[in-house]
Structure 1
Amino acid sequence: MCLTKSPFLSVLLGLFIWLEPGQGSLLLHMNSMIQVVEMLDEHLTVTELARGLGCCDSEFDRFLLGKAPAAPPDLPFLSQEQRSFLRHLMKHQVQASLVEQGVLLLPDGTTVAVGPLMAGIEAGLQGRREIPLPPEALEPSLVRTEPSNQTHPELPLTIDALYAVTIAKDLGVAFLLAQPNESQVRMGPNGCWDSVYEPQNFTLLGPPSRLTDAFINGALDGVILGAHLAKQAEPRAPLGTLLREYYAGDGLAGDGQARSNFRRKNFVELTEAGKLEEQVVRSLLLLRALPQTAPLFSGVGNEELLAVASQAVQEFTDAYLECPAIIPRCMWEAKPYKGTPTQLKLPLSFVYIHHTSSPSEPCQTFPECAAAMRAMQQFHQEDRGWDDIGYSFVVGSDGYMYQGRGWHWVGAHTRGFNSKGYGVSFIGDYMTTLPEAFALTLVRDNFLSCAVRGAKIRANYTVHGHRQMVHTSCPGNMLFKEIQTWEGFK
């Protein structure tokens, strides 16, 4: 679903008019890119054009994907304005003002960097998975021998190009460069668009890392789409069709779960245990063997390189694969807090489970969930006279959690106990039905363990239903029966 007020008009104008970011009419929304890509699909390989415009052209990328083709000097079906649009998207960078460039707003309310996304698609289209490492990159003490090499020692060790050009290289480098300065940000943060209806500028919420949330989203999507393309037989569907199915449709091959709002779960399902760390090690080995990047490894011993890969993958897994994706307040257009919030004293000991009751129907898309969040905040602030939406976090049926008062501020969710725990509410009425299975998983398996690792709640936390603390039917009979099976329920 497009978030523009007039999707067709906005995209149509955007194809013919381009001004600098923040001043133009071409919206930085995935639907705009899909429209351009669909125009190009009939004429050339879009990923080749993307690389010609500056995507994935490092020495590392050229080794794994081949030499980047030159961008066609003139394409009668692509205006200079459209080429400027694509060129802008292919160069991911963060300005001193914390405006992140090379990113697009998605229909699901998240933001994706185009560079790693296109790199993964290119690797998938080429079927470039296992590429032999050059002899100078091999370090026997660092490379785990594969079973095939034990049987056939003459077979070369390989690197999976799909993981390397999307996430493995950047993950390893980010943590390698941060080693001398432990206070340096390694991953994140998320950011805010100036408008969810007319997105033109995306500003980060804190100091930037090499791996912003948008970059990681792009990398995960690049792996998922690249893997999908690599196993498809020729002829493949046009790239525009692929992007539309994944970002704005029913999912790849009609599978509703194979779409961007389930990227974390789908990446985990694709990635075997230990594979990512292995690919980070091999990416660092390749970088160390390439002339342009070899100086990065001056004074870095083998044990340190292994430690960097291990730490990088562990922290990445904790933060982006095992924790739930949370939509920040700015994206659902929260109104400001009234008055001065009271800070929680962490870690907390309790989590209180709620259902909203009203709205009674689960929200299935970002626009629906964002509207429900705004409606709840308005009711809580104007009708009940509270300072803000009462819940700490809210769970949609779109694959995401939504930030209410968040991790640090006392809520208004469980009278008499607001300072003792977080209030987590499922959108919908769950007297006779249960939330979607994936929504339950987000809280039971992801949110609770994530909160423990982040020292937000104690390891021996207690889960209560709202009705245990206050005279109410909340969180509904079926949901209350469900949470009684959860670890920590008392």
Structure 2
Amino acid sequence: MDWHLRLLLSLLVVFAAEATTTKHMKDFIRGVESTEAVNPDLQMLDVVKGLRKAAGFETNLIKQYLGDLSDAHDLVSDPSVTSYVNEVINHSLSELGKEKGVVLTLDGSNVALAPMLLGLEAGLQSTVQGLYPLTLTHNLVASFLHHVHNEKNTLSFGTKGFWDSISSPKVYTLSDLPSLATDALIIGGIDGFILGSEVSTSNHRERSLSDLLKSYYSHQPDAAGLDASPRLISQKRRMNFKKLVSFSLLKSQMVQALTVRPNLNETERKRLDDVINEGFDQFVHVYAVCPNIISRSQWGAAAFIGSPSYLSLPVPYLFIHHTYQPSKPCTTFDQCASDMRSMQRYHQQTNGWSDIGYSFVAGSDGNLYEGRGWNWVGAHTYGYNSKGYGVSFIGDYTSTLPIKSAMDMVRYDFTSCAVNGGGLSSSYSLYGHRQATSTDCPGNSFYREIQTWEHYQSYLP
């Protein structure tokens, strides 16, 4: 047997054995690397188109902007590999709320591969006019339209989900009413828009696909966190998206796409206009104003013990904490999620509380972690739990500060998100935990810092 063929077969066997075990981005990248190893002369565009051909992923919309696949290379022939590629690229939702075509990334994001690869292909083909419809416009339009006809049983967009296992993800299940444009599909679209924009105007197209995906999705911050990290990484998705996208153009394309929709009566048309305006504003709020919020189901929270109490919104106060223990800042999703579970166990099992006490927790990985969340009374600041949010930073900040990106995430992004979303009063007052009770929290160094923040008040009534 020719050694090239033996190498190909061995790589395919390894890929099939390893990649089909979990739905993680690193498995997909490993498969791409295997393909590139036996096709060393192929350019990134050839590999992207070949993967799409292997998955049989071709629609009229795709043909309109990217052409057909008649010139695409046959990259894989092993049935198990073809099956895996088909499963992870083709996006679908089942009636039981299972979402396929989604992978978990190292930063904790859930990414639908289809819109990411389509955006990348559009950029590589210099088909920039296809970036919006292939990554975001079409999916949002379909989701809004579907919601108009099924308002009681769907969300307009952005349904999140959770994996059966964070360490070994295989099945992804929606955690709320379905939407055609799920959170994973939107995140994949945003990544496709970013990467497509990047390769269309730079020398990134000379790189291999696996190298580009690895540098974007597999970056591991060091002790300095995101402050010392490169620009083009998934942890900086929202920052890059806001710099690249034209929200006015995105909305105008959506409106234009919906004006040609037939079979809508006057009432449905009026409702659709309302859904577009409300939904688009909410889309901008969630994916451009707010930080990336890791839901309880995403970090693996245990159930609330008992019955939670509602907050009366908007709350007037925001209290800043540090966890003290864990004392070390977390710089990766895995570490931060583990810290969240550890704190929740301590609060529930040792303190005897119903749940983790904080409303939200800031990691040094670029994520904000949902604790009690927007609507429920916490256990963070004695005497003020029903009057404010408690946001804690993972780490001990007695003699040092959180990284700048984590502080900015709370100081600017979280507060804007909370005020715009109606959770926090626009005239809110900000305090350190020590101002409400006898404690050193949030640490001497950090307390000095927050005294320079907007809305800080020295007097707590």
Shared fold (TM-score, shorter chain, > 0.5): yes
TM-superposed deviation, 1:370: 1.4
Letter in 1 for 2:51: A
Structure 2 residue matching 1:16: 3-state secondary structure: helix
Deviations 1:418-438 (A, max 9, x none): 121111101112233322222
Which position in structure 2 is the counterpart of 1:475?
Answer: 442
- Does residue 178 of the first structure (1) align with residue 147 of the second (2)? yes
CA contact (8 A) 1:14 1:27 kept: no
**Unaligned runs of at least 5 residues, structure 1:** 1-10, 19-23, 130-159, 289-293
- Report the residue type matching 2:34 in the other structure: M
Quote the Cα distance in structure 2 between the aligned partners of 1:95 and 1:354. Answer: 41
Q: Which residue is equivalent to 1:16?
A: 16
Residue of structure 2 equivalent to 1:216 = 186
1:94 equivalent in alignment to 2:93: yes
Partner residue in 2 for 1:395: 362
Aligned equivalents of 2:399, 2:12: Cα separation in 1: 46
**How much is the aligned-residue C-alpha RMSD, in angstroms?**
2.9
Residue 382 (structure 1) shift: 3.0
Deviations 1:332-364 (A, max 9, x none): 222333333333333322221101122222111
Do 1:128 and 1:162's aligned partners in 2 also have CA atoms closer than 8 Å? yes
Q: Note if contact 2:24-2:169 (Cα within 8 Å) is conserved in structure 1.
A: yes
CA shift digits 1:45-77 (9 cap, x unpaired) = 2221233245652222211111234876x76x6
- Paired letter, 2:166: V
Q: Please point out which of 240, 246, 260 is paired with 1:266.
A: 240
Contact 2:377 2:385 in 1 (8 A): yes
Query: Which residue among 159, 171, 175 is the counterpart of 1:189?
Result: 159
> Could you tell me how far apart the structure 1 residues matched to 2:139 and 2:22 are?
28
Q: Distance in 1 between matches of 2:245 and 2:112?
A: 21
Shift of the alpha carbon at 1:301? 11
Higher deviation after alignment, 234-243 or 317-326: 234-243
Change (3 A) 1:472 1:98: same
SS at match of 1:87: helix
Partner AA of 1:37 in structure 2: V
Sequence identity, in percent? 40
C-alpha distance in 2 between matches for 1:398 and 1:282: 38
1:27 paired residue number: 22
Partner of 2:350: 383
User: Quick one: which amino acid aligns to residue 15 of structure 2?
Assistant: L
Instruction: Give the Å deviation of 1:403.
Output: 1.3
Q: Distance in 2 between matches of 1:302 and 1:64?
A: 28
Q: How much has 1:376 moved relative to structure 2?
A: 1.6
| Structure 1 residue 322, shift from structure 2 partner | 0.6
TM-score normalised to the size of structure 1? 0.80
Cα distance, 1:182 vs. partner? 5.4
Among 27, 34, 37, the residue aligned to 2:32: 37
The structure 1 residue matched to 2:379, chosen from 400, 403, 412, is 412
Distance 1:305 1:327, change over 3 A: closer
Alignment correspondent of 1:315: 282
**Structure 2 residue identity aligned to 1:161:** G
How far residue 472 of structure 1 moved from its aligned partner, in angstroms, is: 1.3
- Would you say the 8 A contact 1:171–1:312 is kept in 2? no
**Per-residue displacement from partner, 1:205-254 (whole Å, max 9, x unpaired)?**
11111111101110111011111211223861110111111111369xx9
Alpha-carbon distance change, 346 to 246 in structure 1, aligned in 2, over 3 angstroms: same
Structure 2 counterparts to residues 345-384 of structure 1, below 5 A? 345-384=312-351
Q: Give 1 or 2: higher helix fraction.
A: 2
Which digits, 9 at most, give the CA deviation of each residue in 1:247-292, with x for residues without a partner? Answer: 11369xx95242112211110011245333244345557xx4xxxx
- Does structure 2 conserve the Cα–Cα contact (< 8 Å) formed by 1:50 and 1:118? no
Rate the CA distance shift 1:392–1:82 in 2: closer, same or farther, 3 A. same
Give the residue type in structure 2 aligned to 1:346: L
| One-letter amino acid of the counterpart of residue 97, structure 1 | L
CA contact under 8 A between 2:329 and 2:363: conserved in structure 1? yes
Q: 2:204 and 2:100 mapped to 1: Cα distance?
A: 34
Q: CA–CA distance in 2 between the matches of 1:56 and 1:166?
A: 14
Q: What SS does the aligned partner of 1:353 have?
A: strand
1:50 matched residue in structure 2 = 51
Change in 2 beyond 3 A, CA 1:337/1:13: farther
Question: Partner residue of 1:202?
Answer: 172
Structure 2: runs of 5 or more not aligned: 1-10, 222-227
Quote the residue 2:405 is aligned against.
Answer: 438
| 1:469 to partner: Cα distance | 0.6
8 Å Cα contact 2:318/2:388 also seen in 1 = yes
Code of the residue aligned with 2:31 in structure 1: it is V
2:132 corresponds to which of 130, 153, 163: 163
Give 3-state SS (helix, strand or coil) of 1:489's partner: coil
Deviates more, 1:461-470 or 1:427-436: 427-436
**Aligned pair in 2 of structure 1 residues 55, 245: CA closer, same or farther (>3 Å)?**
farther
Alpha-carbon distance in structure 2 between the residues aligned to 1:182 and 1:333: 29
Question: Aligned pair in 2 of structure 1 residues 305, 55: CA closer, same or farther (>3 Å)?
Answer: farther
Q: In 2, distance between residues paired with 1:14 and 1:387?
A: 46
2:203 partner SS: coil
